[in-house]
Amino acid sequence: MDPYTATPGEVQHKGFMKDTGEPETTVKYGVRSACSQVTVSLAQNFLIIILGMSFGMPTVILGVLDHNVASNQTRLESPQLIMSDEQSSWVGSILFLFHPVGAVISGYIVEGIGRKKVMLIVCIPFFLGWILLYNAQTVNMILLGTIMLGAGMGFCEGPIMSYLGEVCEPRIRGSLTLLSGVSGNGGALGIFFLNAITDWRTTTLISSVVPILAFAMILFLPESPTWLIYKGRMVDAEKSLRWLRGWSKKDKVMVEFEQMVRDVTKATKKSSGIPTKLTKRDKFHSGLNYVRRSEVLGPFRMLMILFFITMISSFIPMRPYIIEVFHMFGLPMKPEWVLVLTGVLGITGSLVSSVTVNKFGKRPMSLWSTAICFVFFLILSFCAMNLHWPGWIPLTVFCICFWVSGYGMLPLPWMLMAEIFPIEIRGVACGISAALNSFVSFLTTKSYVNTIAWFGLHGTLFLYTFVTGVGFVYMYFYLPETEDRTLQEITDFFVQNRSAREFKRPKSKRQVERNKDIDSLM
């Protein structure tokens, strides 16, 4: 059997590569490889731009059609679209409710048809959602368009994160994953800017063009080499890896390719101990036992907690109603342009994060950001107790919080999602994680109106402050540093149940040599 058409296990058995038991070796490539991976990241980030635009859409719609903020002209032109508090709460949150539907479906489909095909398919519901919003004549049509966007968001998040984690080198994986956050903030900035200079219908019409561009860009990307190896398509996997490493020659990528086959073979063996001829009930129990393993349950539990912490600390439940909140604080700028400003701050925070994550690491950045957000959340809570403060004070606090959350908080769980799950369950785990995150987002966003009614604006902000403080404590004790770590090393961390504070970045060669020189002098 040709080793390039065999399964990973058959490749190893035929002697194409030896299971030497040696630790993984990180292969170093040049600028061409980095450029190739940046090209891939930029192309697929068109989908992330759509995600950001979809995420900002409820804020745009409610900022015009909610009965608390609708202008007299809007009430005369579209009286059938003016929304009550109950309708607004559904428009603001239903995006998250249907997000899990797409996420769960994609989580299972992606292992069968691949990351690339799923990313192509998802462009269809995105396009239909924007067209429905543009032609909406009733609140129900707005809800239907929002549902399409929500399902599309869930459908593509898991494949995007899995794809990035599998095609990028460890040395630039963090930075390129953070570009997703930049693109998401860029999408939100784009729709906020369009809303500031034109009406909401024109905004949705222009937005419908982006899924077409995304489809055209993704069409030219290679499939994930890890997924191709998992499917036994060795020739295609090698070609894909060569493309991703700067169109390198076969000999240059061979070390990394053999390492990838070794990792996939190891992962396949872990899940191949279950007999294939089992009843559905036995298969369910076998799958359940696998999910309970530390390398699956540990990352999943940590990711869910981080999702909740970063969700609250980044104003996610409040964002659909943020224009009304700006009115309550009496900010000295038009709310639509404050939205644009927050979009600029979010994207600059993500950009700075993408170029500094390799220097500082994910763990320090997240701890700094959480601590800063805690302090300024507390200040904002006191401002909300007395809304007669000068408007520039809460405006400044909002700006700091939006920048810091974009820098080190919002990107964190999405970066980790691309790294912490084992290969054999990565697609499913990413889909389920994104689904549960969205369901919790739906609950917190849908209940925001009730929270305000029960505790007031200041009480709600004090509650967010408390969650942020607890989040800082959790991150300090349980968040590991994954920067410059291979995917297998990260999996081994959870298997071995190591201390997060001791799981530090591997030292560079320069640091090792410097330490040796110091030791020799002593």
For residue 280, is it within any domain? no
CA angle 361, 363, 368 (to 5 degrees): 100
81/216 same-domain check = yes
Cα separation, 390 vs 396, whole angstroms: 11
**Residue 272: inside a domain, yes or no?**
no
Per residue in 447-476, pLDDT (tens digit) is: 888 898 889 888 999 999 999 999 999 988
pLDDT at 130 over 90: yes
pTM above 0.85, yes or no: no
Same domain, 355 and 367: yes
Evaluate whether residue 142 is within a structural domain: yes
Residues 319 and 430 grouped into a single domain = yes
Residue whose pair of structure tokens reads 């903020």 in the numeric block: 69
Please indicate, yes or no, whether residues 437 and 485 belong to a single structural domain of this protein: yes
322 and 420 together in one domain: yes
Specify the pLDDT at position 428: 73
Residues 308, 165, single domain; the answer is no
How many structural domains does the chain have? 3
Q: Which domain holds residue 386?
A: 293-508
Say how many C-beta atoms besides its own lie within 10 A of residue 211's C-beta: 25
Tell whether 145 is covered by a domain: yes
Nearest to 47 by CA among 189, 190, 180: 180
When mean pLDDT is compared across 139-143, 204-208, 209-213, 437-441, the lowest value belongs to 437-441
Say whether both 195 and 230 belong to one domain: no
390 in a structural domain:
yes
N- to C-terminal Cα separation, the chain: 58
Indicate whether 349 and 465 sit together in one domain. yes
Burial class (CB in 10 A: 0-12, 13-18, 19+), 1: exposed
Question: Is 191 in the same domain as 320?
Answer: no
Residue 251 confidence (pLDDT)? 77
Please give the mean pLDDT across all residues of the chain.
80
Q: Based on the domain organization, do 358 and 472 belong to the same domain? A: yes
* 364 lies in the same domain as 478: yes
Q: Do the domain assignments include residue 276?
A: no
pLDDT band (50, 70, 90) for residue 118? confident
> Over the stretch 414-425, which tens digit does the pLDDT of each residue have?
778 877 887 777
The residue that leads in pLDDT, 162 or 273, is 162
CATH number at residue 465: 1.20.1250.20
Average confidence (pLDDT) over 308-328: 88
Are 333 and 454 in a shared domain? yes
